[in-house]
Amino acid sequence: MEKKANNQSHSSRKVEAKPSAAEGLRELFIDELKDIIYAERALVKALPKMANNATDASLKTAIEEHLAVTENQVERLVKVFDLLGESNRGVKCDAMEGLLKEGESILEETEAGPVRDAGIISASQKIEHYEIASYGTLVAFAKILGEEEVAGLLQETLDEEKQADAKLSETAYHSINIEAAEEE
C-alpha cells in the first residue's frame, strides 16, 4: 500500500485506526454541526444591524441578500440534522461570538460613512472565512462518514459562503476602500 512520505515520517505520533474511530469522528462531526448552527442563528440576529449601519448601497444590499441566504442555510442545517437523526439544538460557538463582538466594536468606534463601511466589510469577511473553514471541514467529514446527501447540502452552503466572500471583496475594491482612503 502506498503512503505519502510525510505520513511515514510522523509514524511515531500516528494514531492507529481503532474500530471506534468512525464513531469518534461522527461525534466530532455532530459537535461541529451544533457549533455552526449556533453561529448561523447568531448571524441571522446580527446581520440586520450590520446592514442598517452600512452607508454604501451596494454593501447594504450585499448584507441584506446574505441575510436571506443565511436564513436558508439555517433551514438547510435543520435538514442535515434530520437526515442524521440528531437534535438541531446548537451549542454556543465562542469563535462566532468573538467575531460578532469585534464587529460591534467597529460600529462603536466609527461614524457612519466609508470608514465604517470598510470596517463592516473587514468584520464580515472574517466571519465568511470562519464559515468557509467550518463548512470545508464539515463537507470532508460528511464524505468520510459516507453521508453523501449531507455532504451535498453542506457543499451548497460552502459555495454560498465563498460567493459572499467574493462579493464583499468586490464591494471593497470597487468603492469603499478607495473612498475610505480619500477621507483621510
Binding residues vs Fe ion (CB under 5 A): 40, 70, 73, 131, 161, 164
Shorter beta-carbon distance to Fe ion: residue 53 or 70: 70
Shorter beta-carbon distance to Fe ion: residue 40 or 147: 40
Give the position of cell 468557509: 132
Q: Are 135 and 154 in contact (CB under 8 A)?
A: yes
In whole angstroms, how close is the CB of 128 to Fe ion at the nearest point? 5
Amino acid type, 26: R
In angstroms, the Cα distances linking 23 to 10, 29, 30, 146 are 24, 10, 11, 12
Q: How far apart are CA 172 and CA 179, in angstroms?
A: 10
Q: How far apart are CA 47 and CA 177, in angstroms?
A: 21
Contacts of 183 (CB under 8 A, 6+ apart): 113, 114, 115
In whole angstroms, how close is the CB of 47 to Fe ion at the nearest point? 9
In whole angstroms, how close is the CB of 132 to Fe ion at the nearest point? 8
In whole angstroms, how close is the CB of 107 to Fe ion at the nearest point? 18
Shorter beta-carbon distance to Fe ion: residue 53 or 73: 73
Shorter beta-carbon distance to Fe ion: residue 67 or 107: 67
Shorter beta-carbon distance to Fe ion: residue 88 or 179: 88
Q: Give 135: exposed, middle or buried? Use CB within 10 Å, 0-12, 13-18, 19+.
A: buried
In whole angstroms, how close is the CB of 135 to Fe ion at the nearest point? 8
